[in-house]
Structure 1
Amino acid sequence: MGSIQERNILVEKVCQIYDKISKLETLKPSKDVDTLFSQLVFTCIPPSSVNILTLPKDIQEIRSKLIRLCGEAEGHLEAHFSTLLATFQNPLHHLDVFPYYSNYLKLSRLEYDILSEHCSAQSWPPKRVAFVGSGPLPLTSIVLASYHLKETTFHNYDIDSLANAMASCLVAPDPDLSRRMIFHTTDIMDVTDELKKYDVIFLAALVGMDIDEKLKVVQHLAAYMTPGSILMLRSAHGARAFLYPVVDPQDLRGFEVLSVFHPDDDVINSVVISRKSPMNSNIAHKHHHQQLGVNESIIPSSCKYCEFQMFNPLNHMIEELAVDE
């Protein structure tokens, strides 16, 4: 009974915050916007047993709208700070002005540890990485390229040309990153054979605001990624699913899910690492071109997607999170 009561209190509070956010004239950074979204994050971030899928339909609809509002607000926030950073002679020396920079340091370290755990010695470190949905402030790519994968080339994909122009300005003064970070203005659904060139592809949490949209992207990646390459996805767990879409490992047909990690600290996103299945690549192409619905099988997966390895990267992070200023 206690857990039900706690769930009801949580849902009621989230709905109250949603109601206030939905009435804002703009979601660009301001005192009101910052206050409401901070309240939302603080409400959703504590560990919770709430199962989003069991909530009533009207709450599900509010959640879907809230995720889109979060995505819009996040876009405005990144654009605001990307513009601010561009005023510095070397923007990359001032990334800590972004209020959630420390979260990106932790998340990037987490993803690096998970990635290194599951890549073979022959494929490590990856030579070419793609980040889909990089935005105007591509912090994941910047942090990984600066501190963890120092020889890797990062290809950043975003559909918004202005976002890419802003992101390019941030790395342009840096002789190393300007050489290793490439920006592509295109819809990832229009990228085909080029996807075969990447050892690892990261899919941003807000690429595909709902599960159907996200699975269309995953289906497209399954059709064109090289067998054995890695797909890194961001998901959400518990009440954090009010902030970001949830990726069910069972939906990743065509991929072998290697591990799922749910942080319990201020890193909001869960991390799902999967490997492109080596089997039936031709079937993936055939089904993709026939434009099957996202709930249909892309590839009969030969993997055991439920075989999650008990790997806790946070055990490795404490001593290594310090970043040279």
Structure 2
Amino acid sequence: MDPLIASRAGRRSSEDGGYPSFASTSEPGADIYRRFQSLERLLNETRRRLQRFTELDPHVGSIEEMVFSLDDHGLVAEMFLNGLSSHLLTLQHVAYGLWETELERRFIQSLGTAASIDSYRLTPRFRRLIEREVDLLGGAKPARALFIGSGPVPVSAILLHEYLGVPVDCIDIDASAVAQSRTLLERLSLRDRIGVSLTDGAAVDASRHDMVLIALLAKPKAEILAQVSESARPDCRIICRTSLGLRTIVYEPMNPAEDLKHFRVADRRLALHHGDTISSLLLARHEP
């Protein structure tokens, strides 16, 4: 198992802090610990910020800024994460999901005036993500791609088509998301190149595709990956998204022991850029 991925499997769920309280000392590194304590205070404020987007939006921005600035302090970050309760982490994931959903809703609402997908606020970070994932292909150009868990704003599918010029089939289990994304693609004149269907990722037939991209929020990961392993062609490039390090505060990571039973990590591209939240794994099936 990839050691970086495996390190996320042992998180504790206690309420006790998992890092030393050096904030009142003059020891080397005390400033770093004070910054981690500031991040913890932000996380504890999340619940009361949920009701109004005008409060949630800057709150999420503050959490992201702290995460991006502290994520390279590996051992301290790991202790910090291990000390967070599962309840507090789940709350952050819910809040981040609500924040993204509202951004998507506002973008769809603006489609009368929006000229392109670049009008969507998160497009710049998704561009960098897709560029890293295209790099994972190692120069190979798929003939047809499948995107599992495309959501109401299939920005990844749109950018994948833009970068590779290939047709993309999207699937999602949410009927509302499928309807909204079809409307969006129609308005962006992309319905002939990007299709969207209401399909359970755990039952998808990936045999028509030579690239499969699995969204970070697509669940249940273990069942989806098992189905992809069973149905995809031997030469299919399979990329699965996850979160690592402090970025697991905003996105729930994969459970490698469960999700990667049928695969090994052949390569990866990590979210290291200030502003990026999602990492990508190129998966290879275990030899029979």
Q: Same fold (TM over 0.5)?
A: yes
Counterpart position of 1:61: 87
- 1:239-318 to 2 correspondence within 5 Å? 239-247=246-254, 252-265=260-273, 266-277=275-286, 279-280=287-288
Structure 1 counterpart of 2:164, from 149, 166, 184: 149
**Which amino acid in the other structure matches residue 237 of structure 1?**
L
Counterpart position of 1:162: 176
**Which amino acid in the other structure matches residue 42 of structure 2?**
I
Q: Distance between the aligned counterparts of 1:172 and 1:198, measured in 2?
A: 23
CA contact (8 A) 2:133 2:269 kept: no
Q: Distance between the aligned counterparts of 1:3 and 1:260, measured in 2?
A: 34
Counterpart position of 1:323: none
Deviation at 1:95, TM superposition (A): 2.6
Q: Distance between the aligned counterparts of 1:125 and 1:62, measured in 2?
A: 42
Superposition RMSD in Å: 2.7
Q: Distance between the aligned counterparts of 1:125 and 1:110, measured in 2?
A: 14
Counterpart position of 1:45: 68
Counterpart position of 1:139: 155
Deviations 1:145-187 (A, max 9, x none): 12x111x221111122221222112221455x22111101122
Counterpart position of 1:22: 47
3-state SS, counterpart of residue 169 of structure 2: strand
CA contact (8 A) 1:52 1:60 kept: no
Deviation at 1:126, TM superposition (A): 0.9
Q: Which runs of 5+ in 1 are unaligned?
A: 281-325
3-state SS, counterpart of residue 23 of structure 1: helix
3-state SS, counterpart of residue 176 of structure 2: helix
Aligned pair 1:107/2:129, yes or no? yes
CA contact (8 A) 1:199 1:230 kept: yes
Deviation at 1:221, TM superposition (A): 2.5
Deviation at 1:31, TM superposition (A): 2.0
CA contact (8 A) 1:17 1:40 kept: yes
CA contact (8 A) 2:136 2:268 kept: no
**Which amino acid in the other structure matches residue 22 of structure 1?**
R
Deviation at 1:214, TM superposition (A): 2.7
Pair 164,257 (structure 1): closer, same or farther in 2 beyond 3 Å: same
Counterpart position of 2:119: 97
Q: Distance between the aligned counterparts of 1:40 and 1:196, measured in 2?
A: 41
- 1:214-229 to 2 correspondence within 5 Å? 214-229=221-236
Counterpart position of 2:144: 128
Q: Distance between the aligned counterparts of 2:252 and 2:28, measured in 1?
A: 23
Counterpart position of 1:304: none
Counterpart position of 2:101: 75
Calculate the TM-score normalised by the size of structure 2.
0.78
Calculate the TM-score normalised by the size of structure 1.
0.70
